[in-house]
Structure 1
């Protein structure tokens, strides 16, 4: 008996030694096994690592989980508010089945799960990043005693739930680190508010600073749609046990995370294996309208407008003096108080982020008509909307009190419809009807009706004759215009057809004084309608064959494209031999006027505005290539085709040479080269091959022109050092990028931002199309300051021996529709 008792402890020590030795690099630890500082657990697929780390140069030790591809990307911390000193940390499962972290002083508990198991326990790091504690030694056990996903720190991973668990009373949310080197809980929290349909907030302590908008069955209504989100699926679940938000990965292998950083910004990030860095897909500080309730009660925020805040229709500013100094917090009040018995009605507002649901009620059993009736009968109800748009509008969400934190999106599909209750008088005013009718007016209408009846035959004849003349004009100018007209009536029935007389009056009969631009198609005129609207009218030259093709393309194409970074087509006219396109007027003309103009003009665009313009153009081009209903290759992107609105926001224009691609089409070929010398890619000029990558080449040229203030133009072989692309590449290769900056401006305060944009421009103009990034990658690289950019290869540029040789080369078999950049505008005016 004595000999056996002596041998048993010795064997136990040997067994424990074997267990400890085998733990490092595995994904599991058993009871009485431990992990000490310097050892790690690695998930079965090699995706996540659990071990000890020190953030930055703090010297303090924490137990955490990080991505294997990036050991600086910590996604979970156990002892975040109780750091270890030195390398004394040991993680083990004690005799009671509790997972504990101990260190110096010896046996001091720095963290534990607080769980016990009578039959032992096993801990495992899963490929999801979830660290779980199971009862018993079986790794197939169903229920967890404890899991790290129930105790998130600052990061949300795929499969994790954010929201309240009513069974345990625990609110699963993200809490930012205190700072970059201190993972203890900081000021900022990302959480799901279960009221209404559920909506995420970012809070600074207890103050809301960001709100995504309520869940609508597809997404959160305040989050713009993005094609890159097809790699995710999103879920919000409400039941008696819990309410939670969760996302999953649809395209494996994808590494993604949602993190709330110590500056209070929530970011969705995606790992780019080619660049070995994180790419930002979305952030809560995307624009000024991301600030919670920026415009106050009943105010609407519009990030595209020069003045961000406006009132809902039927409302007026509450404190005009504060509004004048851009303090919008007071918001708006009704023009007319609601009167439940006097015919209140509802006004549809489209493309909106739905208001805060703190004062809302949800009923999923109603359709939209029943929702309207419910709101109408409740005198306290001020608005209603569909609660679920995933399969057609269903469910009902209604609001009482003020409507808080509303914004409007440039893209209707990015927002949602909401119906605002208004007093009868305000509805009639918005619709253009008088609120009261005089008795004599009724009599006058009765008398006038007789005259109308007598003149109806003549009036009908005039209308018929006018339409017949339009049809004759279309037939006269070929079947192409017949197809355009059919397209306008069948496919683009929202596109107005203007009368020639109306446009002639607006442009003073196309007076020379109203000319503001010129191209291969003809002239552009400034016009002003009787209602005060200013427009730009593009008039097709009657003898321009190329212009007819441009007209056909633009009418059919741009009428279907709507984006904040694209010039909006308001209508067209096909009458009496005229083909006219009517666009919104851009008061600040085109970009080339500013970046290639005199010193005064150049200085109007400081570095911050230039970078904003680059990012705006990038987002517009991304929409054309990927996010629009059509997949469009522009083919003539240049500074002269970027117009600037009153706030100097960029808008891409001139779609006459654009081509529509099929969703699976990668490139096309043409023997008719269209575009502008200096912006066309080598493969397009030489072989006639064009694709998204040829547009991206043009974008890269534009980026370098905006930063340098110099044109990319043809030069002789002896002077290739003057060619912008080659010069930019050489300077950056030699770490002299600062020499490329436009010297009419003061040096940028954040040169790193300008340098990033410059390097992205060089990536876009690489000689091989395969080396150039996609527009989605471009937008991510521009927006994410932390990602590591690859080194650009040699740029592509064609070098004829002279400009005359270039012209001869074109005349030998190619046809350029677009002239040199310098004659795009005849004078410096808006368009």
Structure 2
């Protein structure tokens, strides 16, 4: 018994002394990854290996979450070419290409593309904690420009840091595509990406048909996504230059997990991981109501979910088919009440709080001002509308439409402004309500202003009269105060003081002819105003 205990203790000590190794995060050239073998990112956030979906006998190479939501696949290499057995082998070649072979037949099931223009000497494949699997030159410490990366081959999930859009240098498009079903990860009918047939805009397509349009970027958000606002979960950006056009988002905290998924039913969902519940919850979806469907109301009509019916013609337009319009068939949209003739009197009416029309076939310039934009549109008879490309700050840029304006909706607020070309008569009719309101204000303001003016003039005249009277009294007082014989008198007295010579002159030397009588203070004489010197 004692010997058994000693042997058991020795084995335990020996096992404890063996260094434990964790799965590597890299794969080297000619190294083979087989079934039940995986590559794990440095912080064990993601894992790469072989998997089989529920209710399926097919096998795939994919990347999934490791720590949270174990088994939630975010990327699949061979989604359209599955393995039918577990004999698959994943190899990195000396040329820096990933190859997936069926070991039983030797056939290549899937391979990555080497986008590098330089020769490869020591390729290394690595799984990052972002979920991106990159292949890079082993001697190159800068991994910003890898030979190949899984982030360039999107499946049905848009992870933080992924770019949905275009590389204009290589003409590579990055779109994410739905699965056929939850059990079949093959490419489905729905696809989301950036449409660059005009001013770039985010669209969701079913086959070749547009199902939903998130609209162009306006410097703050996409015009058809008013709910895309700054938040504590993630930030977002849209890059548009001569090399790249793409949308991207990044999480603000490493403890938060969020992903965008294009579901098999064509619904785009932003999901958020709730650790306390151990489940993904729906955080946001860009499609919320009937007005989000593409071109519900037809040309020159706007969809307003707060009205019934939801479709209405823009001001200056009328239903193309009144009969169909009244029965709820808005597919033909609206037409101009008065056609354009490219006359000199044509101008533009302002429409606010809109989702901007479909930008296919549009033209844009990111450096022009709004005034220059209006002039350019007015000089081209084919131009039907214009607006800014950037509403942030003081605004800027120019976006022109040619032809019909389609897929417009009205928001309660946070919408964009559009300037639509109109004939002279419709410029007046659209402004009638504003002018009527202005006339009402004038009818109220003018009488009030007139009464106020009369009162002001009355006050001014009264003040002027008082000032003149005071000046007259002051002049009269000063004439007496400046008598030469009265210079020694008190200038502060209100009554004038006269010298003896002045009194003698005024009374004709106290002549009896001037005497009027006597009182308690002595004799009283009459004098004449003109007889007083200096008066």
**TM-score (ref. length: structure 1):** 0.48
- Count of aligned pairs: 426
Residues 352 and 113 (structure 1), Cα distance of their counterparts in 2 relative to 1, 3 Å cut? same
Say which SS state the counterpart of residue 375 (structure 2) adopts. helix
Query: Does structure 1 residue 75 correspond to structure 2 residue 77?
Result: no
1:332-731 counterparts in 2 under 5 A? Answer: 332-410=334-412, 412-413=413-414, 415-432=415-432, 460-461=450-451
Corresponding residue for 1:107?
A: 106
SS at match of 1:253: coil
State the distance in 1 between where 2:180 and 2:446 align: 76
Is the contact made by 2:221 and 2:229 (CA closer than 8 Å) also made in structure 1? Answer: no
Change (3 A) 1:62 1:137: farther
Provide Cα deviations, 1:802-822, integer angstroms capped at 9, x if missing partner: xxxxxxxxxxxxxxxxxxxxx
Q: Does residue 28 in structure 1 map to residue 26 in structure 2?
A: yes
- What does the per-residue CA deviation read over 1:234-269, in whole Å, with 9 as the maximum and x for residues that have no partner? 222233333222222233333222221111111222
Larger-gyration structure (1/2): 2
What's the CA shift for 1:207? Answer: 0.4
Change (3 A) 1:104 1:434: closer
Cα 1:154–1:22 shift into 2, 3 Å: farther
* Partner SS state of residue 372, structure 2: helix
Q: 1:23 to 1:91 in 2, by over 3 A?
A: farther
Q: Structure 2 unaligned segments of length 5 or more: list them.
A: 1-18, 436-442, 456-535
Structure 1 consecutive aligned stretches of length 4 or more whose deviation exceeds 6 Å: 21-24, 462-465
Q: Which residue of 2 aligns with 1:149?
A: 151
Change beyond 3 A, Cα 1:288–1:72: farther
Give distance in 2, aligned partners of 1:196 and 1:170: 17
TM superposition shift of 1:340 = 2.7
SS at match of 1:372: helix
The TM-score normalised by the length of structure 2 is 0.74
Superposition CA RMSD, Å: 2.9
Q: CA 1:104–1:23 in 2, change beyond 3 Å: closer, same or farther?
A: farther
Q: 1:347-395 deviations in whole A, cap 9, x for unaligned? A: 2211111111113111112112222222222222211111011222111
Deviation for aligned residue 1:105: 2.4
Alpha-carbon displacement from aligned partner over 1:265-286 (angstroms, at most 9, x marks no partner): 1122222223322232322431
Distance 1:186 1:80 in 2: 11
Determine the structure 2 residue equivalent to 1:620. Answer: none
Summarize deviations over 1:24-55 as a string: whole Å, max 9, x none. Answer: 62211112322211122121122211111111
**Cα deviation, residue 119, structure 1:** 1.3
Whether the aligned pair in 1 keeps the contact of 2:200 and 2:217 (CA below 8 Å) is yes
Q: Determine the structure 2 residue equivalent to 1:713.
A: none
Instruction: Find the aligned partners of 2:154 and 2:210 in 1 and give their Cα distance.
Output: 20
Decide which structure has greater helix share.
1
CA distance in 1, matches of 2:29, 2:311: 60
Q: Which residue of 2 aligns with 1:39?
A: 37
Q: Does 1:124 align with 2:123?
A: no
Q: Deviations over 1:457-481 (max 9, x none)?
A: 688549999xxxxxxxxxxxxxxxx
Q: Deviations over 1:280-301 (max 9, x none)?
A: 2322431111100111111101
Q: For the residues of structure 1 that align with 2:228 and 2:245, how far apart are their CA atoms?
A: 25
Pairwise CA distance, 1:223: 0.3
**Alpha carbons of 1:152 and 1:292: their partners in 2 closer, same or farther (altered >3 Å)?**
same
For 1:472, the equivalent position in structure 2 comes to: none
1:53 matched to 2:55: no
- Where do 1:284-299 residues align within 5 Å? 284-299=286-301
Q: Partner residue of 2:469?
A: none
Query: Equivalents in 1 of 2:200, 2:373: separation in Å?
Result: 19
Task: Name whichever structure is richer in strand by fraction.
Answer: 2
SS of the residue 2:360 aligns to: helix
Q: Is the 8 A contact 1:297 1:332 kept in 2?
A: yes
Q: 1:342 to 1:104 in 2, by over 3 A?
A: same
Where 1:300 maps in the other structure, the secondary structure is strand
Ranges in structure 1 where 5+ consecutive residues have no aligned partner: 1-20, 436-451, 466-831
Cα displacement string for residues 746-782 of structure 1 (whole angstroms, at most 9, x for unaligned residues): xxxxxxxxxxxxxxxxxxxxxxxxxxxxxxxxxxxxx
Quote the Cα distance in structure 1 between the aligned partners of 2:287 and 2:381. 37
